[in-house]
Structure 1
Amino acid sequence: MRYEEIGQRVKAFRLASGLSADEVAQKIGISRTALYRVEKGEIAKIDTLERLSDLLEVSLPTLLGVGIEYMPSAVSYFERTRQLEETADQIIVLAGPVSFLLASDGFEKALHTLLEESVPGDVPQRQRLLADVTSVLDILRQRKEAYRRRRPNIVNLVSADQIARFLNNGLMGKPDLPDVVRRERHTLARGEIEHLAALIEADDLGVQIGLVTDTLPMNGFQIFRQADRSTLTISPFRLGEQPNIRVGVAMATSAPEALKLHHKIVTDAWRTAMKGPTAAAYLRELLSADTSAPTTRSPRRPEAKTKAV
């Protein structure tokens, strides 16, 4: 049993609950110091974990990492992602059109506005959801800092159709925005695709990007590879086009069958994806065809060369 990972899950679900460490400790009858020891990965009594499970509304098997770990909150999902990234040697990302670790500074600056826009004005518990936005942004900042410090290898697969749609729609948290704002968000989307093209042209050995012309799963997923194990996460939460941090359930598992099946998706998609100069040329042509008005035109997709992950 990996007590450090149990502690990480406790922290992720505690953050998602909106309760402070003091509040959680008081409600389950332990000291704050004892709770922090649990979160740091020290051995915890099973009855303590059971009380945490009840309070945080998460099953005990999920806290223990038995089978599939379910995360109904974007806060807990992004915190678990941060934890996994901190020890990963390689990260395989199938999500788009924006992968946060590779996103531009402009995208990060716009993210607060986008995520707040994605929370409807009449939704129940809106203030709590806005507090979640703040928590998510704090976690994202920590993720980017850790990535810049550690520089794990990244394999990023992005749908070519999603990129074209992203350029057409712009970087928006909701559809009913004034025309002047829509034009600004369209410019932000162009900047993000230009940034992606520049990343591909930089030919960084630690960052491999493939543009997929075939159908990809609706929910994105990531595989975190460590020296002694790998973990798969599947998530409906997204930060780019039509951001969502409110609705859905993310999952994490280290089950060999799940990893094998999802790695096959990656291998098959990578084999036929556009890469290197071919991918960069596609994006540059897409950008040159784009205007400030919505467009449905897409450039011709060149033949992709085969390359193994």
Structure 2
Amino acid sequence: MNLTSIDYLAIGQRLRAYRIAASLNAEQIAAELGISRAAVYRLEKGEIKKIETLERLAQCLNTTVETLLGVGMEYYPHASGFFERMRQLEEGSTRIYSHFEPFSYLLTSEKYDAYLQQMLLETDSTTVQGDKLDPKSLQTLAILSERKSHLNTHLPKIHNLIGIQHIEKFIHLGLVGSLNISPSTRMERVLAARQEVKYLLHLLEEKKDIVQVAITKQTIPSSTFQIFYNDSEALSVASSPFRLGELPNISAGVAWVSSSKEAIHHHQSLFDALWENAAKGDDALRLLRDTLERY
């Protein structure tokens, strides 16, 4: 197979995301392939010369050559690899269409990351080892933080579709990983959730040329998704069962990324239909403020 027409950089990015998802470091991949660690990093930069190398890497990472080439669906059974792939795609995007509960993590404050770690510690899941998060979960948090930091220097236009019911639940429950917490902790977390909604309002007022939201009262999909564009070209669509809001989940489920034109078309059509009839601009701001006042 001739690799001259293939996007080498994209292959390298997928390799890195799949390596992270498999909880493998560069030394382990190097040992499996019989190459140096530096050679692994070069592969992840897109320096790939032979199809045989991709075949061995695909087997090592429990995927296929077609997926690494961007032909098939990319599947991620843990949030670490998925959010690394999201970070990569966001770096190359000029526009993002997003639907996450309660709203996009990219629009949360810097204080949110510490609360997210605390929420994950409160969950009864495999993410917790004793009184600490497991290494893979800590890696996920580091990748999320990197995503947000990168947007301080490269902020694509973000169109975030929000369901008002999700905002109401977010404020009502607060930033909690479990409902089995003390009343005083619950009150603190409810106040923290309110602050996040206020921060979102601040972003919408200060960066309205870059960040736009539409708030709908309609029922919206339970599966979250994000569509990536570079100017007018659609790059990919990603869908995820992972949650970064109240009662978060970063370990159970399978997320996917696809560059299929059909998948992108159907998700964009769904997004556009919900966006059209939702509150936008000043109406969205009023709806958010009214919701805060009611709670």
Q: Structure 2 length as normaliser, TM-score?
A: 0.92
Aligned-partner Cα distance in 2 for 1:119–1:29? 40
What residue number does 2:75 align with? 70
Alpha-carbon spacing, 1:285–1:124, altered in 2? closer, same or farther (3 Å):
closer
How far off its partner does 1:125 sit?
Answer: 8.6
1:12-55 Cα offsets, whole Å, 9 max, x none, are: 11122222211210122122122111100112422222222222
Q: Which runs of 5+ in 1 are unaligned?
A: 291-309
Kept after mapping to 1: 8 A contact 2:21/2:76: no
Correspondences of 1:202-213 after superposition (within 5 Å): 202=206, 204-213=208-217
What residue number does 1:295 align with? none
Aligned-partner Cα distance in 2 for 1:48–1:10? 12
1:260 aligns to 2:265 (yes or no): yes
Aligned-partner Cα distance in 1 for 2:157–2:146? 18
* Identical counterparts, % of pairs: 40
Alpha-carbon spacing, 1:111–1:214, altered in 2? closer, same or farther (3 Å):
same
Alpha-carbon spacing, 1:124–1:85, altered in 2? closer, same or farther (3 Å):
closer
What residue number does 1:104 align with? 109
- For residue 195 of structure 1, the aligned residue among 193, 199, 218 is 199
Kept after mapping to 1: 8 A contact 2:103/2:161: no
Kept after mapping to 1: 8 A contact 2:120/2:248: yes
Aligned-partner Cα distance in 2 for 1:129–1:58? 27
What residue number does 1:4 align with? 9
1:103-148 Cα offsets, whole Å, 9 max, x none, are: 112212312212232353xx49948972122111111121112111
Kept after mapping to 1: 8 A contact 2:234/2:264: no
Correspondences of 1:5-24 after superposition (within 5 Å): 5-24=10-29
Mean CA deviation greater in 26-35 or 153-162? 26-35
1:263-305 Cα offsets, whole Å, 9 max, x none, are: 1111111111111221111121211121xxxxxxxxxxxxxxx
Mean CA deviation greater in 226-235 or 80-89? 226-235
| Aligned AA (2:208) | D
- For residue 113 of structure 1, the aligned residue among 102, 113, 118 is 118
What residue number does 1:42 align with? 47
Q: Structure 1 length as normaliser, TM-score?
A: 0.88
- For residue 170 of structure 1, the aligned residue among 157, 163, 174 is 174
What residue number does 1:232 align with? 237
- For residue 133 of structure 1, the aligned residue among 114, 118, 137 is 137
Aligned-partner Cα distance in 1 for 2:133–2:11? 26
Kept after mapping to 2: 8 A contact 1:119/1:130: no
| Aligned AA (1:278) | D
Aligned-partner Cα distance in 2 for 1:67–1:55? 17
1:68-127 Cα offsets, whole Å, 9 max, x none, are: 11111111100000000111010111112131111112212312212232353xx49948
RMSD across aligned positions (CA): 1.9
What residue number does 1:306 align with? none
